[in-house]
Structure 1
Amino acid sequence: MQLTDYRDLTPAQREQLIDIQVRPEQQHFAGDMASALYILLSTDSPDLRGVALLVNNVPSAFLLLQRGAFLAPWARPDAATINALQVDRRLQGRGLGRFFMQALPDLVRDLWPDVRCLQLSVDPGNHTALAFYRATGWVDSGDGYRARKGHECQLTLLL
């Protein structure tokens, strides 16, 4: 398994990204690959990156990294935020998400040496995601985006 910047994927791997599917209940929170790719391809900025997790050279998980002009209003200025984490539902439960979270800090340090932490915002009703992030070292750090009721949970991972 390896993390790869979208820009370094082969044309075939870029086409395979659309095959990543999440469960319907996860899609409610994370969206789908078409939406993530639309956001990624809507601009050519060094502050917006797509990251794929390759398993046997096939994209099996994906997320968006954002900083600078794309940074969420609730995020620290020295942070990068992650959005739209998607692990293919056919491969869930095999440690791909955990591997992604463990390998991501090194990739971010190489990509953006001035970034000091990763942050994200999770709906308080998304108990599975909250448990996953907390189990991989993320800590509660305040309010994130506005939720249907109150705010989402902001989580931070120091680099």
Structure 2
Amino acid sequence: MHFALTRHESLSPTQQHQLLEIELLPEQIRHVGDIYGGLHTLTARPIADRQGFVLLMDDIPRGFFILKRRSLLPDWARECASVTTTLHALMIDRRFQGLGLGKQCLRALPALAQALWSDTEQLMLAVETGNHPARQLYLALGWQELPNRDPDQPGFERLMLLAL
């Protein structure tokens, strides 16, 4: 099997259609949304502050995520003094989970973010406290959980950071 990460806009028309066929389990949709919501995020302006990436397995889309910076950073990432890029909507097609595709995306992320935006000093993401598999994966790959914000808030999320 051949794996590659590519920018969303570089997909062929066939691959664009295949991307829409990514399936997630209901609990995953609750955490990251679906592919349609992820693609809708790519319409945000300014274009220079966000980029969608697709994980191809044998040239077929099997995963997707978005990177954001500057004006498109969520409020929770704006408080940092470092130049931050945030990860959003990481999704792997449910039929291909358990093959290490998410881990592959996360391992490639630091170099990918710095190649895209060379001033990136750190990566951040928000993950629901109850999403234990994702949290464990991030921790295993060197991400650090930041101190709690407001654990009594409904839908509480943990912030995670990876210094580059």
Q: Same fold (TM over 0.5)?
A: yes
Deviations 1:50-84 (A, max 9, x none): 01111101111001111011101111351111111
In structure 2, the residue matched to 1:54 is: 56
* Number of positions where the alignment pairs a residue of Structure 1 with one of Structure 2: 158
Alignment RMSD:
1.8
Name the aligned partner's letter for residue 28 of structure 2: Q
Query: TM-score, normalization: structure 1?
Result: 0.92
Name the aligned partner's letter for residue 74 of structure 1: W
- Runs of at least 5 residues in structure 1 that lack an aligned partner in the other structure: none
In structure 2, the residue matched to 1:33 is: 35
The 1-side partners of 2:63 and 2:149 are apart by 24
Deviations 1:6-56 (A, max 9, x none): 122222212211111111111111100001111113445111110111110
Secondary structure of residue in 2 paired with 1:102:
helix
The 2-side partners of 1:87 and 1:69 are apart by 27
Deviations 1:114-154 (A, max 9, x none): 011110001111111111111122111234798516x4110
Name the aligned partner's letter for residue 42 of structure 2: L
Q: 1:119 and 2:121 equivalent? A: no
By how many angstroms is 1:91 displaced? 0.3
In structure 1, the residue matched to 2:7 is: 5
In structure 1, the residue matched to 2:91 is: 86
